[in-house]
Each structure stands twice: as structure tokens, then as C-alpha cells.
Chains A and B, each alone.
Chain A
Amino acid sequence: MSDPLLSVRHLCKAYGALKVTDDLSLDVATGELHAIIGPNGAGKTTLISQLSGQLRPDSGRIDYGGRDITRLKMHERVRHGMARSFQITSILPGFTVLENVAMAVQARSGSSFRFFGAAARERVLNDAAMDALAEVGLDDRAHRIAGPMSHGEHRQLEIAVALATKPRLLLLDEPLAGTGGEEAENLVALFRKLKARTTLVLIEHDMQVVFALADRISVLVYGRIVASGTPDEIRSDPAVREAYLGEETT
């Protein structure tokens, strides 16, 4: 494998006696869609939180683009091109859809220590935000207040916000959770499109989606990676079948 974009070595995180991340090592290659699957409580969200910088690991090391980012804070990692979506919707509820995304554009375009000039009228911000909204299919609802919108729309908005930061690496924490039917189909189509231009780490429970989209899959059980490989390898791995897949695949 060529130099991985993201390389995790011996990562550990414990809450008291509970080892949520247990000596975990993982490589994500540039350009791949790497899915992380595992039963509930396996530590998937905790892992994403450590990768994105929201949580600090107890020990271990995270390299990103060839540099050690273990001690960088979340907002610093974002500036290096790492973005995430949250499992539990995290938006600015009182802002409009457009403002939510324009905020993310503002973060990477020039100083925000500007005290005059209406941000809402800045062409640069709004145009880039509309592009991101068009990608997820929310551009027709750009001026709605985000808070009261539907769950599926919130999921789309989360992804538009992440896209607006122009990430090289996108961490998606159960982006399909709670969506159904057409909404889910649209999101899957979007991920397929995104695969072509950015590296993705995807946590997802829907096995059909995971096996259809992923280039590689890592299986996380009790804070450890028990298997890592192509979808075919994972499907035929006896340890995986026993630990996890057996009961969930149809």
C-alpha cells in the first residue's frame, strides 16, 4: 500500500476500567472509502471522536498526511482538511440552512475577526455554500431555519457543512441513521460521488450499504480491530462471521 493518508498506531482510550479503544491500529489509504463496522458499544464513535480531535486518546499516535496530529485540537485538524459528521445531529438550529453552511465556508476563507460588513451578504461565502447545498440536494431549502427541519434534512445538512470545509478526509459517523427510503438512497448516491474526490471513513450499520460502497472494511469489536480487508475478505472471514456478521447479514 502507498503511504496512508491516516495512520493510527496503538491507540488506547479507557473510561475507568472499560477499555473503549484497546491498542487499536488502522491505516486509511488516500482515496479509499474505509468502512468501520462493529456491534453496538464496540467503540466506533469514540474512535471517530479521537480521529477528529474531540476526544484525546490516553496513549498511541495518529498520523495524518505524514504528520503527527495526536495533540492537535479539533478545530486545528479541520484546518488541515479533516471534517466529520456527527451521529447525533449537530447543527446551528437558529441559523438558516444557508447560514449553517456559509459558516463552514467562512472558517476556511479569510479572517473572521472582521467587525463590519454583513456576513450574510458576502458573495464568496454564499456561493460556495450554495454549491455544497446543491451537492446534497438542499439548495431549494437554503433559506429555511435549520432547527425545525426533518431528521433526514438534518443529515443532508450535516454533510453539506462537512463538504463546505473542503475536506481531504471526511469522517462520517452513521450518516444514514434514522433516514429511510429515498433520503437514504440519495445519501448513498452522494457518497458514491464523493468517493471519487475525497478519502472517506464511514461508520454505518446498514451492511448492504457498507458492502456496496467500501473499498476496505475494518471490523471493530470491544475496541479492537479484529479484521481488516476488502469486502470479499471480510465476508469470508470466519472470525468476523462469528463475532458479528452472522447475525446481521441476510
Chain B
Amino acid sequence: MSANTATAPAKALPPRVALRTWVAIALFAGFALVPVLAGLIDDPFLLVTATRIVVFAIAAMALDLILGYGAMVSFGHAAYLGIGAYAVAILSAYGITDLGLHLLAAVMVSAVFAAITGGISLRTRGVYFIMITLAFGQMAYFFFVSLSAFGGDDGMTLGRRSTVFGQPLLEDNLVLFYVALGFLVALYAFSAALVRSRFGRVLTGTRENRIRMQAIGFAPFPYQLTAFVISGCMTSVAGVLLANQSEFVSPAFMNWHRSGELIVMVVLGGIGNLTGAIGGAMIALLLEDWLSLLTRHWRLFFGLFLVLVVLYAPGGVTGLIRRIRGGPP
């Protein structure tokens, strides 16, 4: 939202908020029906794709929480995907296979990593913040590259997926999909509550005007850091699920390309919109799948698509929908 929007809506905004939520609910319902569709057209690969979309939707949503609502452009968020994935791989290697423990370890390590790197990164702003988060992300990447006990550069294949109460339930792709979807819905509900809470309002207020927030008595740092940590922890949940989906972990999960892809998803969906981030993840992954079927040079066309979106639909998909409905962009 910019200061120089030409016309102001005379009335309040409540309907728009509700619309977003409805779209999200529709998306979740659509996801829930994917296995039925996959059964009908007898395409087991559809379920795999859908699981990846759901997992990346969690990560994109987590990133949007700080990028969109807090104006903190983290270019190192793939590190948390990697931390989550390696939590599964490393604990499993030591015979701890429980999903709950994997999640707990992922979230705890991510919280510590986010608190330290965020605490340092938040001393800077703008481009410097982007660069310093990138640097920390790459440090995490090279740490796992050099971790030869766990495959180093090559990564390692997981013997099996995480267990739930000792049962290998997640070995079934269908169960894994619904577990991932469950996490997406729960984390969406959590995030939606967060951005509307007092805490969320301080976060968005700081995005809008930092000096103004200080002038009414807020110190932005503790709020921003807390949001940064929450976002990192959420992303690591996606990492745990990603490792289970691919049954393989490698440092490539936390490479800076991956961080860039997460930002692309947020931008495609429309910055500062949780539902949009889910849509952005969906579009990015489907487009990638589709374009890579057509040509080996699919990245070129993907790039072209991104340029077009940024130029002609700067609000991403959600901005486009809003414009079609006749609201302000």
C-alpha cells in the first residue's frame, strides 16, 4: 500500500479480509480433493507434486510473514528448510525416527539459528539486510557441505521416513500428503491470527513507518526479531516435511537459489498476503513442472513470466484478483 494511491475507499475494509480467508479455505478444500482426482485420472505423480506444493506453501507463507508484513527481505530462508531436513536425516541416522522429535529438533535449532543471525542482521536494513541474511544462509549451506559424515556435498538418502508413535504411517504418500496439508492449515490459522494480533500490528506498523512507531513508544527490534524467529521455525517444519517427501536430504535444499525461489513464490502470490503466498507456491511449482516438460530451457521462460508479473501485476496474483474486482491495486 503506498502513500500516493489516488483514491481512498470511503468505507472500511472488512469484506476484503474475509475474501482472503474464503479463498484460502477454497484452496485447502481443493488440496484435500487432490488424492481423489489423482485416483480418478490414475496419476500417482500428481500426489507427489501436490505434497511438494503444500510443503513449499508453508515455507513461502513463513517467509511472507517477515517479508510481507515486516519488510524484512530474508535471502537466506532456505537455511531453515535445510535445518528441518537435516534434523530428520541426522536424528534418523542415530535411530531416532519419531516425527515429533524431528519437528522439535528442527524448530529448536532453527530458533537458535534465527535468534543469533536475526539479531545480527536486524542491525542493518534494506539491501544490507538482504546481503547479510544471504551470507548467513550460505554459511549454513557450506556447513552442511563440509559435514562429510552426512554425505557432504552429495547429501544422503533416508532409509525411511519419520515414524508417528513408532508406526511407519508416513511411508504411505497419501498419509504424508494429508499430514503436510494439516500442517499448512494449522500454520495458516496461526499466521492469520498473528498478523491480526497486537504483535502483528506492531510488525506491520514498523513496515509502514519505523520512525513513527518509535515516536509513539515502540522499540521495533524485539518485535522484528521475534517475528524472524517464528518465521524461521515455521520454515523448518516445511524442511522436515520436504525431507520426508523426497526421502533424501542434501545441502542443495539450503542453497541461495532455493532462498531466491521462496522470494519468487511470495512475489508471485502478492507480498503481504498469506493466501497469496500459498497461491504463489502453487503457481511457481506448477509452472516449473509444466515448462520443464516443454523445454530444457524452461528457466528462461520462467524468468520471462516473473518479469511480466512484476511489470504488469506488481501485486502478484492477489493484486490481479483485486484489480479485476475493481478495488485499489
Contact = CB atoms under 8 A, between A and B. Distances in A.
Nearest to B199: A115
Given A112-B202, A112-B223, A92 B193 contact: no
B199 A145 contact: no
B199 A114 contact: yes
Interface string B72-84: 0000000000000
Interface string A7-26: 00000000000000000000
Contacts of B293: none
B123 to A, nearest CB: 15
B216 A107 contact: yes
Given A113-B199, A118-B196, A119-B196, A90 B226 contact: no
A15 B7 CA distance: 41
B211 to A, nearest CB: 6
A120 B193 CA distance: 12
A73 B218 CA distance: 10
A95 B217 contact: no
Contact of A107 (B6, B8, B218): B218
Given A92-B205, A113-B226, A144 B8 contact: yes
Kindly state the interface size class of chain B when it binds its partner.
Answer: 35 or more
A119 to B, nearest CB: 5
A63 B84 CA distance: 52
B2 interface: yes
B209 A91 contact: yes
A90 B2 CA distance: 13
Interface string A116-159: 11111010000000000000000000011101110000000000
B3 to A, nearest CB: 4
A123 to B, nearest CB: 13
Contacts of A108: 217
Contacts, number: 131
B198 A104 contact: no
A119 B209 contact: no
Contacts of A86: 211, 215
B12 interface: yes
Interface string A84-115: 10100011111110010001101110011111
Contacts of A74: 214-215
B295 interface: no
Contacts of A70: none
A54 B214 CA distance: 9
Given A119-B197, A120-B196, A78 B12 contact: no
Interface string B197-229: 111111011001101111111110011001000
A224 B27 CA distance: 65
Nearest to B206: A92
B6 to A, nearest CB: 7
B8 A145 contact: yes
A232 B223 CA distance: 50
Contacts of B216: 75, 78, 83, 103-104, 107, 161, 164-165
B198 A75 contact: no
A84 B226 CA distance: 28
A16 to B, nearest CB: 23
A119 B200 contact: yes
Interface in B1-35: 1-13
Contacts of A164: 216
Interface of A: 52, 54, 73-76, 78-79, 83-84, 86, 90-96, 99, 103-104, 106-108, 111-120, 122, 143-145, 147-149, 161, 164-165
Interface of B: 1-13, 193-194, 196-202, 204-205, 208-209, 211-219, 222-223, 226
Lowest 3 A-B CB distances belong to which pairs?
A94-B1, A78-B217, A107-B217
Given A112-B199, A120-B201, 12 more contacts: A52-B215, A75-B216, A83-B216, A106-B201, A113-B222, A113-B223, A114-B197, A115-B199, A116-B193, A118-B197, A144-B9, A147-B1
9 contacts: A90-B215, A94-B208, A99-B201, A103-B201, A103-B213, A112-B202, A118-B193, A147-B1, A149-B8
